[in-house]
Structure 1
């Protein structure tokens, strides 16, 4: 993956956006409730499934290039005020770097919030890539967070 300064991208994004505290609080309560009441892995699987459902409700148009894919994903993410994604490709994998994801309201349950968003984005991105012709046996998984806080998802056979 290329070394980039995602902090500038995040700062610019947050400067242009506003948050909707009521919706974020509702989502935070739902995320916390799901992850607290289900077994850890079951809660994550449920949120991943919900991300896939969201991807089916908001499908991407067919994309001929990675640039179009990135642009179309960012168009949908902008409607939700959910940050931006940068796609980095090598011959072996795609890395989707999700920058400026929604922060938890009032810093509540930050770790649960991050886990819930990561799970939701895994399902969302996997659904979109499969709809673009990706294979269901090729996993898309969160691998790490950058030092700037961006989520890095990898779409790679043999993960």
Structure 2
């Protein structure tokens, strides 16, 4: 709550200065920096990876993550992200780049550098965002 006004003003300034695709790229880079500062331990299984990711989000109160194997991709469900609440719902199209960058970096750390994380659905009103990891 104490940061909401500041963050919404910051988001409005960002949106006034840069197109959405540039803002998304900026947030992606911020996400990669975050992931570098919060590296995951070596994980032997997908469950281990999910637990390690969830532990980071739990420590900072940023919701949770579920990883679900599908036929040709891995579905990443991030629940209750504070991004929409912090920046406002109008900025959800570019603010999700942060989580995309975090997950991309974490999967690269885990040895999946040949795969790409991409947002597969817009964030909902509760801050739930869906991504896919695929070729």
Counterpart contact for 2:20–2:93, Cα < 8 Å: no
With normalisation by structure 2, the TM-score equals 0.86
Q: CA deviation at 1:100?
A: 1.3
2:104 is aligned to 126
Q: How many residues end up aligned between the 2 structures?
A: 133
Counterpart contact for 1:62–1:132, Cα < 8 Å: yes
Instruction: Go from structure 1 to structure 2 and tell me whether the alpha carbon gap of 1:148 and 1:25 turns closer, same or farther (over 3 Å shift).
Output: closer
Counterpart contact for 1:32–1:109, Cα < 8 Å: no
Aligned match for 2:48, one of 68, 74, 78: 68
**Rounded Cα–Cα distance in structure 1 between residues aligned with 2:26 and 2:125:** 28
Q: CA deviation at 1:26?
A: 3.4
**Rounded Cα–Cα distance in structure 2 between residues aligned with 1:58 and 1:45:** 20
1:52 is aligned to 32
2:88 is aligned to 109
Equivalences for residues 3-152 of structure 1 within 5 A: 21-102=1-82, 103-105=84-86, 109-112=88-91, 114-135=92-113, 137-145=114-122, 150-152=128-130
Find out whether 1:155 has 2:125 as its counterpart: no
**5+ residue gaps in structure 1?**
1-20
**Rounded Cα–Cα distance in structure 2 between residues aligned with 1:146 and 1:28:** 17
Q: Secondary structure at the match of 1:60?
A: coil
**5+ residue gaps in structure 2?**
none
